[in-house]
Chain A
Amino acid sequence: MRRTPIVLAGTAAGLAAVLGFHTESLGTNVVATPSGSSSGASTGKSTTTTTGSSSSPGRVSSSASTTTTTTGTTGTRTALGADVQYRYGDLELQVTVTGSRITNVEPVVDTAYDPRSSQINSYAEPLLVSETIEAQSAAINGVSGATFTSQAYVQSLQAALDKLGIK
C-alpha cells in the first residue's frame, strides 16, 4: 500500500532514470501534491484506453511544458505511447497502470535499424522497464550514465502516461 505522493515520486525517479541524447523539443512538467489520503492500489478490472498513435519521426504527441496535479484514479488501465522513431530505431511502448502506479511497461514496436542497435536495445530496454517500475520504490533517485535508446523510451512512456492522465 502506497500513498499517492509516493507513487508519483516513483514515477519521477523512473523518468529521471531514463535520460538520453538528441531529441526534439520535449518539455514536461509534473507536480505531485501529497494528498495524505491513502488509496490502495487494488487490481481492478482491465480497462483499455487505447488511441492510435499518430507518429511523426522524433516527435511526441504530448505538448510542451504541461503541469498537472495528481488524480486519485484507481483500477488497471493500459495505453499505447507514441511511436517514437529515434536515431537507431523505432520504439512504441504499452504502459499499464494500476491506480496511478505503473505496473508494466512493454514495447509493442521495437525495431532497431542495425544489429548493433538491436543488441543495445536488448539490454537497455529491460533496464529501463525495470527502472521505471522498480524505481517507484524510490530505492534510487536517479541513474548516472546515459543511453541513446532511453530518450525514445522516455518520450513514448510520457505520451502513454499523458493518455492515462498520469503525470
Chain B
Amino acid sequence: MGTPALKAPRRRDPDPGVFAWAGPVLLHVQAVMGTMVSFEIRIGDAEAKAAHVALARACSRLERADAVFSTWKPNSPMSLLRRGEMTLGEAPAEMAEVLELCKVARELSGGCFDPWAMPGGIDPTGLVKGWAADRALGELRAAGVRAATVNAGGDLASFGGPGPGWPWRIGVRDPRAESALACVVESPGAVATSGCYERGPHVIDPATGCPGTRCASATVTGPELWLADALATGLVVAGEAGLALIEAVEAYEGCVISDAGSIAMTGSFPVAT
C-alpha cells in the first residue's frame, strides 16, 4: 500500500501538535447507537476521577438514547410509538422533548428535514444522534473538564479546544476524492456531515418519500449538534439551494459538496486557514 498524503492544511502558529493544556487527556471509544462514538477529554484542573465519572455518565446518556429512540430495536419506545403500540404520553419524557426539537428543525430546514415524512413511520434518527451527543458532552462540561469532543460516527459536538484560544479543528471528508479532506473547519461547538458516498443513497427526500439527494455531502456547523445534525440531513437533500435556509438560521453555517466536487458554503462557514 502506498502512502497517500492527507491533504489537511497545516496550522503553523501555534503548533497544534503541542499540548497546550496541562493535565491528562482521556480518550474513550464506545460502540453505541449503531456507530462508534469517540471522546477526547482534556481534563485540565478537574479531578481525574470526576472526569471518569462524567465519561461514564456521558456513555449512559448515549446508551439511554439508543434504548429509547432506536428504530432497529423492535421493543424500543420509538418502535412501539411507530407501530401505534405506545402513546406519546406513555413514552419516556425525552420522547416529547426530541419530537419538539424535530418540529423546530423541520421548520428551520424548510421541510427538507422531516421525521414525519419517512417511510415506515416517524423517524427522528437524523436528529437523535446529535441530540444524544450534546447531552453526553453536557455531562463532561458539568464535570468541569477544560475541553472535550464527542464524535458520534462523524458528527461532532465539542467545547473548548486543544489549547488556549485554539479551536478544535475538524476535517470534513471529501465525498469524492480518495484519501482527502474537502476542507478543515474550526468547530463552533457542532460539526455534522450527511452524505451518501459510502453505501448509496440512504437519505430520504421528504418531498417524495424516496431516497434522493442533490449533492454528494452536506456539512452544517453551529453551537449545538442536534440542530446541526438535522440541518445537515436536510441540506444533503436540498443541495446548494438549501444553503439559503441555513444562512437564515442564526449561528449556523453550511457547506455543500456537489456530485461534481465543487464546494459551496454560506458566508461565515468556519473554514480553517
Contacts and interface: CB of A to CB of B under 8 A. Distances in A.
Interface in A67-107: 67, 106-107
B153 A131 contact: no
A110 to B, nearest CB: 9
A16 B173 CA distance: 13
Interface in A126-167: 126-127, 129-131, 134-148, 150-151, 154, 158
Contacts, number: 188
A15 interface: yes
B162 A139 contact: no
A6 B17 contact: yes
B124 interface: no
Nearest to A120: B198
Contacts of B2: 126
A144 B195 CA distance: 11
Contacts of B96: none
B83 interface: no
Interface string B1-42: 111111011110000111100111111111100111110100
A140 B7 CA distance: 11
Nearest to B5: A130
Contacts of A123: 178-179
A1 to B, nearest CB: 11
A138 B170 CA distance: 10
A126 B179 contact: yes
Nearest to B175: A145
A19 B170 CA distance: 14
Given A134-B6, A139-B9, A143-B170, A154 B36 contact: yes
Contacts of B173: 127, 143-147
Given A130-B4, A142-B168, A28 B179 contact: no
Given A2-B17, A146-B35, A141 B168 contact: yes
Contacts of A145: 154, 172-173, 175, 193, 195, 197, 217, 219
Contact of B153 (A5, A141, A146): A146
Contact of A140 (B5, B170, B192): B170
B31 A34 contact: no
A146 B6 CA distance: 16
A115 interface: no
Contacts of B24: 31-34
A26 B29 CA distance: 7
18 contacts: A5-B19, A9-B17, A12-B40, A19-B151, A21-B34, A28-B29, A29-B27, A30-B27, A32-B25, A34-B22, A122-B178, A123-B179, A126-B2, A126-B4, A129-B4, A137-B17, A142-B156, A146-B154
Given A2-B17, A31-B25, A144-B191, 8 more contacts: A19-B35, A20-B35, A23-B31, A26-B29, A28-B28, A31-B24, A34-B19, A140-B170
Interface of A: 2-3, 5-6, 8-13, 15-17, 19-34, 67, 106-107, 120, 122-123, 125-127, 129-131, 134-148, 150-151, 154, 158
Interface of B: 1-6, 8-11, 16-19, 22-31, 34-38, 40, 48, 52, 55, 59, 149, 151, 153-156, 162, 168-173, 175, 178-181, 184-185, 191-193, 195, 197-199, 217, 219
